Chains A and B, each alone.
Chain A
Amino acid sequence: MNIHITKFFYGDYGEIEGGAPAPVNNREWPLWEVFIRSKQGLDHKHVGSLHAADAAMAIENARDVYTRRMEGVSIWVVESKYIHASNPTEAGALYDPANDKIYRHPTFYQLPDELKYM
């Protein structure tokens, strides 16, 4: 099986056409993905993206855009171009190895009901 890694990221401008031809601007601030830890003990979770000139600005903007109501205690930002993603068109093949292994789940095993604490 071949797995093709496509550089497809959230907010990919890609080769997909859309909208009107606008003057090309090579000076647009880069796109950043924002991850917020809502409280101590929980994972950072992707909340959206924004544009910023650098990481410090991305964090400040993320604070203003995504945590106006105390939604977070910690912010991660990463430039979108550094995110690699699996390709949904290959999901079947990619997850195939796990697909037929129901014995990885505890409910697969038939044990007497009387058996306690297991």
Chain B
Amino acid sequence: MLLISVNLKAKIWVMDANKLAEQFQQKIDADIKIEPQDWMPDEYRKTLIRQISQHAHSEIVGMLPEGNWITRAPSLRRKAILLAKVQDEAGHGLYLYSATETLGITRDEMYYQLHSGKAKYSSIFNYPTLTWADMGAIGWLVDGAAIMNQVPLSRCSYGPYARAMVRICKEESFHQRQGFEILLTLSKGNAAQRKMCQDAINRWWWPSLMMFGPTDNDSPHTAQSMKWKIKRFTNDELRQKFVDVCAEQVKFLGMTLPDKDLKWNEERKHYDFGPINWEEFWNVVKGNGPCNKERLATRVQAWEDGAWVREAALAYEEKKSARKYAFQNTAKSTENAPALQ
């Protein structure tokens, strides 16, 4: 052991970096969680900051496509449910932002990265929500795909991320069920409603499959993330699982998934499915999706319009503290000081 680092606040014993890295990997292998103050490799920290903040951004931007339908929900019941769901997404974003902050990045830095277009968010939210049935398809497919990804993340090696995911997964279940219920209701409706239901499924199916990310061959981070137990399954494994589940669930709706190659493979014990249009995926990731500009502009405007509120709240707090301080000083200087409380 050698003392190599003296930071401004205190001296910390720092062991040889290789030794630390080795101990770190041993902890991971033994399924011991990593907590914010523990030593971790820079790359682990960077990977987590990227992944968790982008996850947070996705939750926040994810409010927009659904927010679009709150005022036009077909009944008070549906409206209350949609409001609660969108509020949950805000909450999920906040759990995740605070988990990311434990890694040494400020909230404002993350907002800056999102608003300046530097940080990415899930490309699914760059598709428009054209009909009410889209609220159903998003709940069933988009939230379904999210759950498929998030359940293993709740066993992720980084403690604050894993804990946030546990909370999120508990709440997501209602999101998926309410979505399926919307589609189920439409599927029992008149011809126009059934058509609307099928149309929404057609539009959301492929983008949902893309949510799992590039195939394992084209996914550079996967191997390292698996070794660090940030990820527990590869993109393709999770995608297959999702296809298998949905191919059965769609039968309850009397609808079809828009893939002529979708077929049960007895040998593999999985559904085969057709090729994914990766050109479209990368195009949306690069910012050319149907709604990229609109989504980001809405976020930036919300942030800028709120600037005076943030400033006013801080000014109010400063005024209160100054008064309290003045009062305490006065009280101290007199014999019969009133009890403070």
Contact = CB atoms under 8 A, between A and B. Distances in A.
Q: Do A and B come from one complex?
A: yes
Interface in B306-334: 310-311, 313-314, 316-317, 320
A8 B104 CA distance: 11
B277 interface: no
B317 A53 contact: yes
Given A64-B91, A68-B88, A57 B112 contact: no
A101 to B, nearest CB: 24
Contact of A15 (B7, B99, B314, B317): B7
B10 A50 contact: no
B60 interface: no
Interface string A61-103: 0001100110000000000000001011110000000000000
A50 B38 CA distance: 22
Contacts of B9: 6-7
A5 B37 CA distance: 13
A53 B314 CA distance: 5
What size tier do the contact residues of chain A reach? 35 or more
B134 to A, nearest CB: 24
Contacts of A53: 310, 313-314, 316-317
Interface string B107-129: 11110110000100000000000
A48 B10 contact: no
Given A13-B104, A22-B113, A31-B101, A54 B317 contact: yes
B105 A88 contact: no
A77 to B, nearest CB: 13
Contact of A17 (B39, B99, B104): B104
Interface range on chain B (Cβ under 8 Å from partner): 35 or more
A89 B49 contact: no
A86 B187 CA distance: 58
B101 to A, nearest CB: 5
B37 A8 contact: yes
A28 B101 contact: no
B256 to A, nearest CB: 36
Contacts, number: 110
Nearest to B92: A65
B113 A19 contact: yes
Interface in B80-108: 84, 87-88, 91, 94-95, 98-99, 101-108
B112 A23 contact: yes
B93 to A, nearest CB: 10
A10 B99 CA distance: 9
B267 to A, nearest CB: 44
Contacts of B11: 4
Given A6-B12, A28-B106, A57-B313, A65 B320 contact: no
Contact of A27 (B36, B87, B107, B314): B314
Q: Which 3 A-B pairs have the closest CB atoms?
A: A16-B104, A53-B313, A22-B112
Interface of A: 4-8, 10-20, 22-23, 25, 27-29, 31, 48-51, 53-54, 57, 64-65, 68-69, 85, 87-90
Given A4-B12, A89-B14, 11 more contacts: A7-B9, A13-B104, A14-B104, A16-B104, A23-B112, A27-B310, A48-B98, A53-B317, A64-B87, A69-B171, A87-B37
